[in-house]
Structure 1
Amino acid sequence: MRRHDLDWLRVIVFALLIFYHVGMFFVPWGWHIKNNVIYDWLTWPMRFLNQWRLPILFVISGMGTYFALNKRNGYQFVGERVKRLLIPLVFGMAVIVPVQVYAERIYNNQFAGNYFDFWPQMAFMGVYPEGNLSWHHLWFLPYLLVFSIVLTPLFLYLKNNPNAGLIGFTRRIIAKPLGLYVFLVPLYFIESLVEPFFPSTHDLFNDWFNFSNFITLFFFGFLLMTVKEPFWQVVQQRRRTYLYCGLVGFTLMIGLRVIWEDSVLIHFIEAGFMVFNFWSWILAIFGYAATYLNKSGKLLSYSNEAVYPFYILHQSVTIAIGLYLYNLEWAFWIKASILVVGTFGISWLLYEFIIRRIALIRPLFGLKSRKINADYKIENPANAK
């Protein structure tokens, strides 16, 4: 049975990603281009989002994989993943991401000229950051593709053996009070023992902390779906407990960073707070979503298909707008509003009037082949008589 709450969460989290990347324009953290005025206060809501936004995306992706494998064999699933992930990645690196690199080179006075002087003459020269070829915000796609291929044999085993020991253990453990916190054990060891030696790079090959952390969360998503309704019943019943745990965990994590300087001991303590914190928020979000969002509708159907093209487009649109705004002496709320409205608006125009309607373009943005009737409403061929 389709989980509409997962569809809603996917849409909501990717929408928050647009707000997050708009925020990156204004905070002290490194990003491709920065506003002429930096706002330290904005780091606090950004930290709150940053703690769980990526982990929950990989958990949701693992849950979606469970549904995908119920309809396909292993070869069909891998083929579908290649089509839906690799094609948009290659297209995005060739067409969408160069806009960001061009804007960054202009911003840093590393290039002078218009965009057509930059692309294709320089857009594919060398690997970023020394060169210009990059996947930038699309790093999520190669990671998800590799995770899907690597874990497919294990997923097929679990799918074909519903009474496997690991599934039985998961059923038993989630029935216990706070039993879902057992999943913190591997996450804690990754955070405490791997993260200090492998800073985040998003280059796939030398990014061992992100790789090990996100593939674990991706697997957890699939595993939790194998126990089916008991998981959703637990997160619904205990959603308030998880919410309180998240509030406590976030407070402890922030307090530790503010009061004590970093050290080996503090790192191991902070790692515990961090994983407890983001896992609590993920469980709380699932619980509230299962309670209030497990319902379909036209808005969800439209948004669920639009979210992938929006993800591919949004950061290039944000940075392109930011290139014209960064040096203006305008207030924060004016610039932020222009960036948010402009990013959503331009992405929607491109999606609604080009991507959604042109059959040859749809696969470049990871969309399935569908027919569009005279009213521009998408029809699913599977439902056709």
Structure 2
Amino acid sequence: MERRYDLDWLRVLAFALLIFYHIGMFFVPWDWHLKNNIIYEWIMYPMLFLNRWRMPLLFIISGMGAALSLRKRTSIQFTKERFVRLLLPLLFGICIIVPPQIYIERLSNFEFSGSYFEFWPTESFKGTYPKGNLSWHHLWFLPYILTYSLLLLPIFHYLKRKPNCRLLQWTSKRIPSKYGVFLLLIPLFLMECFLDPFFPITHGLFDDWFNFFYNLVLFLYGFIFILQQELFFNTVSSYYKTYFKIGCITFPLFLFIISYADGWQRHFIEATVNQINMWTWLLCFFGMSSQFLNKKSKLISYCNTAVYPFYILHQTIIIIVAYYCKDKDWSFVTKFLFITLTTFLICFLLYHFIIRKMKLLKIMMGFK
């Protein structure tokens, strides 16, 4: 099977957008670890747009990655690879990467005074966040992917051995249809309707029922899309322009609903529009990348290796840089560009000149 470079590009671009998103969190009214001295409400709108599909895209791509990995590995090899590439970076992140974020937050909120080495390690492992200081913060994605990989492994093997099972027969009839593929939204829609109101997102894995099962389904969909990749990529390549148009219509409609709709029925209308909007953008992006980005290049080879260390490092660097400029009398554009360029530059320097040259750091950063 030939490598799909479009999926590499989508993965790199999705994680790059995650960096921009976390920088945006510094400026919006929403709660975050550190806030700028001036809050800009208008930034909520591009952030809301990204919020519809940024994490679903990553979970589907991760499910696709699991399918591709299982093509050339046994169950034991796959499990070992998951632990090495997910659990080790998570533990390293909890112990080394995340504590500076919590230290800066405590300084900013006047909850701690003193040097970093007075905070770490004596204070950094006392209690769980937010009351305590132990957390995985932005690395919450890793334990979810690891858990999904282990939980779904028996199902993955069943689907590989039984290509004519009822589930795959059902999806094989819906995926080739321009609108039939939207039937896959039914479980996601039901979860938003009936789980989301009762289980707010916590990223805590064990108390995050809506978020956990919602993303588990997306992860499974990614696996199925690779099993039926000819059908899937033919569909999204053929109809991505239609999906783009639907996405452009449903996002303003979503904004209108959350701003003006009222009554008991609002939640169900919002869930319907939200899921359609999310799904059309995902299908659009997969279609566009399949059409235009499925090409080998040295740049994507480099970025595909660098993206994981960038993901692990980025939020700590953002918070440190933002802390030292949060009270500066700079315009939004100046401050945003400064934090963005500094974050990418420091990530690049650490990755290119240190991480990829040291075997232990490569392991801790999830290198293959």
Corresponding residue for 1:95?
96
Q: Give CA deviations for 1:251-280 in whole Å, capped at 9, x if unaligned.
A: 21111112224x431001100111111011
Question: Which residue does 1:158 correspond to in 2?
Answer: 159
Q: Does 1:214 align with 2:215?
A: yes
| Counterpart mapping for 1:300-315 below 5 A | 300-315=300-315
Distance 2:105 2:31 in 1: 12
Residue in 1 that maps onto 2:319 = 319
**1:140 corresponding residue in structure 2:** 141
The answer (yes or no) to whether the contact 2:240–2:287 under 8 Å persists in 1 is yes
Q: Distance in 1 between matches of 2:173 and 2:358?
A: 49
CA distance in 2, matches of 1:246, 1:106: 42
Residue aligned with 2:357, SS: coil
Alpha carbons of 1:98 and 1:244: their partners in 2 closer, same or farther (altered >3 Å)?
same
Q: Encode CA deviations 1:65-99: one digit per residue, 9 max, x unaligned.
A: 11000011111111110110000000000000001
Letter in 2 for 1:36: N
Map 1:92-241 → 2, pairs under 5 A: 92-241=93-242
Preserved contact between residue 170 and residue 224 of structure 1 (Cα < 8 Å): no
Rounded Cα–Cα distance in structure 1 between residues aligned with 2:21 and 2:233: 28
> 1:179 corresponds to which letter in structure 2?
G
> C-alpha distance in 2, partners of 1:177/1:21?
34
Which residue matches 2:3?
Answer: 2
In structure 2, the partner of 1:347 is 347
Task: Please tell me whether the aligned partners of residues 5 and 290 of structure 1 are also in contact (alpha carbons under 8 angstroms).
Answer: yes
**Secondary structure of the corresponding residue to residue 197 of structure 2:** coil
* Mapped contact 2:176–2:234 kept (Cα < 8 A): no
Distance 2:136 2:11 in 1: 21
Query: Partner amino acid for 1:277?
Result: N
1:159, CA displacement in angstroms? 1.1
The reply on whether 1:250 has 2:247 as its aligned counterpart is no
Once the two structures are TM-superposed, the CA of residue 131 in structure 1 deviates from its matched residue by 0.6
Contact 1:19 1:340 in 2 (8 A): yes
Give the whole-Å Cα distance in 1 for the aligned partners of 2:177 and 2:48.
31
Aligned equivalents of 2:140 and 2:34: distance in 1? 19
How far has the Cα of 1:175 moved from its partner?
2.5
Which amino acid in 2 is paired with 1:192?
C
Partner of 1:333: 333
List alignment gaps of at least 5 residues for structure 2.
none
Structure 2: which amino acid aligns with 1:298? Answer: K
Amino acid at match of 1:132: N
Deviations 1:215-244 (A, max 9, x none): 010001111111121110110001111111
Structure 2: distance between partners of 1:20 and 1:317: 14
Unaligned residue ranges in structure 1 (runs of 5+)? 369-385
- 1:362 matched to which residue of 2? 362
TM-score (norm 1): 0.94
Q: In the TM superposition, what is the alpha-carbon distance from 1:288 to its structure 2 partner?
A: 0.4
Q: Residue 41 of structure 1: CA displacement? A: 0.7
How far apart are residue 2 of structure 1 and its match?
A: 1.3
TM-score by length of 2: 0.98
Alignment of 1:266-281 (within 5 A): 266-281=266-281
Structure 1 counterpart of 2:123, which letter? M
Deviates more, 1:297-306 or 1:247-256: 247-256
CA distance in 2, matches of 1:184, 1:167: 16
Per the TM alignment, residue 245 of structure 1 is displaced from its structure 2 partner at its CA by 1.2
What residue is the counterpart of 2:16 in the other structure? 15
Which whole-Å deviations, capped at 9, do the CAs of 1:304-341 have from their partners, x for residues lacking one? 00000000000000000011011111111111111100
2:178, 2:235 within 8 Å by CA — same for their partners in 1? no
Instruction: Summarize the alignment of residues 34-49 of structure 1 with structure 2, pairs less than 5 Å apart.
Output: 34-49=35-50
Instruction: Using the aligned pairs only, state the percent identity.
Output: 50
For residues 220 and 178 of structure 2, the distance between their equivalents in structure 1, rounded to whole angstroms, comes to: 22
For 1:183 and 1:276, how far apart are their aligned partners in 2?
A: 11
In 2, distance between residues paired with 1:27 and 1:38? Answer: 6
Alignment size in residue pairs: 367
